């Protein structure tokens, strides 16, 4: 059995949305993201460990965590809008 915890951190990135059926595309640069690890639905993980019998102190571990990030869309859309339609 294993229990683990940690802190979540996000980094700004570019976001491209392609909608081929409508022919519409949008690209947002420098989008900020926010983690909400304790809100519904919580993030989850899977850990598989293997310890060979000949070495009780050394083993292998595979860890997968499904991590959620939410875009701070108001900021991204405002920046995108002002770049294309600057106020005069």
21 is in which domain, residue-wise? 13-84
Tell me the C-alpha distance between 45 and 63, whole Å.
7
In this predicted model, what pLDDT tens digit does every residue of 50-62 receive, in sequence order?
A: 888 887 788 888 8
Q: How many domains, the chain?
A: 1
Q: List, for residues 32-75, the tens digit of each pLDDT value.
A: 888 877 776 667 778 888 888 887 788 888 888 777 788 887 77
Task: Classify residue 4: in a domain, yes or no.
Answer: no
Instruction: Answer whether 0.75 is exceeded by the pTM.
Output: no
Query: Between 83 and 14, where is the model more confident?
Result: 14
Distances (CA, A) of 32 to 6, 63, 77: 21, 26, 11
Write down the pLDDT at residue 1: 63
The pLDDT value given to residue 25: 81
> What average pLDDT does the structure give for the chain?
78
Handedness of CA 73, 77, 78, 79 (dihedral sign): positive
66 domain-assigned:
yes
Contact predicate 17/49, CB 8 Å: no
Count H helices, E strands: the chain?
A: 1, 6
| 53 falls within a domain | yes
Domain membership of residue 19 (yes or no) is yes
Is 78 a domain residue? yes
């Amino acid at each position: 059995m294993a229990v683990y915890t940690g802190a979540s951190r996000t980094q700004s990135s570019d976001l491209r949305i392609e909608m081929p059926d409508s022919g519409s595309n949008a690209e947002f640069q420098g989008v900020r993201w926010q983690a909400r690890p304790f809100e519904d639905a919580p993030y989850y993980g899977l850990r598989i460990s293997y310890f060979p019998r000949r070495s009780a102190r050394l083993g292998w571990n595979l860890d997968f965590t499904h991590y959620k990030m939410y875009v701070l869309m108001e900021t991204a859309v405002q920046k995108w809008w002002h770049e294309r339609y600057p106020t005069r």
